[in-house]
Amino acid sequence: MKEEQSYNGYWWLPESPDDKIPGIITIKNDNWSKLELFGAFSIDKDKLFKRIKHSIILGIFSQTEYLTLVNSDGLVNIIYDNNYDLKFYKSNFECIYTIKNSHFNDFDKIKFDKFTLYFDCLNDWVNIEHPISHEFNKNQMSFINNKTEPIIIDINESLKMSFEFVDIVIGPLIHEHMEGYKKETSIQFTSLIPLTLNDCEILLRRIQDFLSFAIQKPVYHSELYAISIIDQSILPRFNKFSTVKLFIRARGENFEYKKKFPSNMMFTFNCINEVKEIFFQNWINNIDKFDLAYHLYFAVQFNSSNYLESKFLSYIQAIEGFHRRLFNDFYIQDENDFKNNVFEIMKSAIPQSLDIDLQNKLIDTLKHSNEFSLRKRLKGILSGISTNFKKNLIINYDNEKEFIDKVVYIRNYFSHILDDTINFEDPKYDLYEISRRLKVILEYCLLKALKLDQEKIEELLNTSLSFD
């Protein structure tokens, strides 16, 4: 886990460059920045103890280190002495984005041509051989690194994604085992249309979620960099194009990454190498069509302390959402046919003497009655899975009908507070095992949404069935 960083410096607003205030910024290990100022940018007694927002705050420390704080929100407080006489003002801000190594006066000018992401897990996940030749003698060791070419993927007409490989010397080169040398893998986005901070945050979340999905454990980025066009009227000594470091808060907690072997991941880069274009294009361009189900899946992934009952219900809700968006199936496919020949007729049959709230409830129920039930959705999903894979998926049950019946009954038990009781010690009602299998069904829907073929999906999911 990264340690938090603190910098003492001077801070000001772009419109008041001469009014600098001393203060300390602390960048937490989750990339959330907090600024403490010994003073205030302005003293407005009507705004004391009320939230103040600044789109840009500029800072400098060590005389040559520049920081830009973006979308800051905070308070101005009054500090009194023991006699309750005014001593000084103090301001505290939290910042959504922090940019190191540059100043931007205008929010609209914060644009990037390239965005590079580092994750501690990337070397393990990419897991490809890097050609190295070396010679050794008793006096010295030399090596020639045959450069590994980047792997480039076209995401859309304006955006390219690439896996980049950089040489890093981490210590003395010891004998022929190359202990002092390693390759560092990064993911880089290059865009013809300059990327905003919000674009970068979306891409970060997409890649974070993707790697968490592939590795089957929550991951967090280690560092972010971007190439920006520098306003030389603000920083005349800088080159027009400059590399800046970004601090963007991502999903989950920034736990230290513990090495995970490829055999324990759902899939590695090599597993999807042949379909990498389809995979990443759909993951980055189209996955937001399934936003609710997608976020429910990752909400469970990033919160291992969730109650088992919550996990079960989240998986069920996500499966229903995915199926609704993915297949768009109805009992009566023609909406006008359903509306005119079913809904309107049944609506008109509701007695007007009923309580108005009950009438509205019945109308709402009728509106959604053409949508598939959970039972029907699970049946449709399982019908598309091969016999062998399905056998492993419902291993504790006599057939898929029994598995579906148990899932639907447990959902109704939790959602509608049934009077019946369930013996969760019965293997066929084992909530942990059922939730694991629902997770695999949800992952099946997720991979189906990425337009992978059936054989490839089942190949990737075999690991998910084997490991929790």
Cα 391-396-401 angle, rounded to 5 deg: 70
Does 309 lie in the same domain as 280?
no
Cα 68-71-76 angle, rounded to 5 deg: 95
Q: How many helices (H) and strands (E) does the chain have?
A: 14, 14
Last residue of a domain, one of 100, 128, 146: 100
Does 279 lie in the same domain as 144?
yes
| CA dist., res. 410 & res. 404, Å (int) | 10
The residues facing 79 across adjacent strands are: 88
- Residue 343 inside a domain? The answer is no
- Residue 310 inside a domain? The answer is yes
- Residue 336 inside a domain? The answer is no
| CA dist., res. 234 & res. 263, Å (int) | 51
CA end-to-end span of the chain: 24
Does 88 lie in the same domain as 28?
yes
The encoded tokens of residue 257 equal 């990454």
* Pairing of the two strands 33-37 and 181-195: unpaired
- Residue 299 inside a domain? The answer is yes
Does 276 lie in the same domain as 231?
yes
The encoded tokens of residue 166 equal 């950089």
| CA dist., res. 68 & res. 6, Å (int) | 15
- Residue 449 inside a domain? The answer is yes
Amino acid at 381: I
- Residue 365 inside a domain? The answer is no
Does 175 lie in the same domain as 118?
yes
Phi, psi of 55 (to 5 degrees): -70, -35
Look at residue 143 in the predicted model and tell me its pLDDT: 45
pLDDT tens track of the chain, all 468 residues?
A: 567 889 999 999 999 999 999 999 999 887 889 999 998 887 776 666 678 899 999 999 887 789 999 999 998 887 766 665 656 788 899 998 999 988 898 898 899 999 999 998 998 899 766 555 444 444 444 444 556 789 999 999 999 999 998 766 545 544 444 444 567 899 999 999 999 999 999 999 999 989 988 988 888 898 999 987 655 444 444 445 578 999 998 776 667 778 888 888 888 999 899 999 999 999 998 877 777 777 888 888 777 777 888 889 999 988 988 888 877 778 888 888 888 888 889 989 999 998 999 889 889 888 888 888 899 999 988 988 888 888 888 877 778 888 999 999 999 888 877 667 787 778 778 888 899 899 999 999 888 888 888 888 888 888 666 654
Does 184 lie in the same domain as 65?
no
Does 172 lie in the same domain as 84?
no
Does 317 lie in the same domain as 271?
no
Pair 97, 248: CB distance under 8 Å:
yes
Our CA dihedral for 111, 248, 16, 88, rounded to 10 degrees, sits at 180
Does 118 lie in the same domain as 183?
yes
- Residue 366 inside a domain? The answer is no
H or E segment at 299? helix 291-301
Does 117 lie in the same domain as 87?
no
Of 294, 274, 64, give the one whose Cα is nearest residue 202: 294
Pair 178, 170: CB distance under 8 Å:
no
Based on C-alpha coordinates, what's the Rg of the chain? 28
Report how many domains make up the chain: 3
Look at residue 147 in the predicted model and tell me its pLDDT: 67
Does 280 lie in the same domain as 383?
no
Indicate whether this model's pTM tops 0.75. yes
Last residue of a domain, one of 70, 100, 130: 100
What whole-number percentage of the chain has pLDDT above 90?
A: 29
- Domain membership of residue 435 as a residue range: 295-329+372-466
- Residue 359 inside a domain? The answer is no
The DSSP output letter for 255 is P
Last residue of a domain, one of 40, 73, 100: 100
Of 63, 70, 56, 72, give the one whose Cα is nearest residue 12: 56
Does 308 lie in the same domain as 456?
yes
Question: Is residue 365 helix, strand or coil?
Answer: helix
Phi, psi of 378 (to 5 degrees): -60, -40
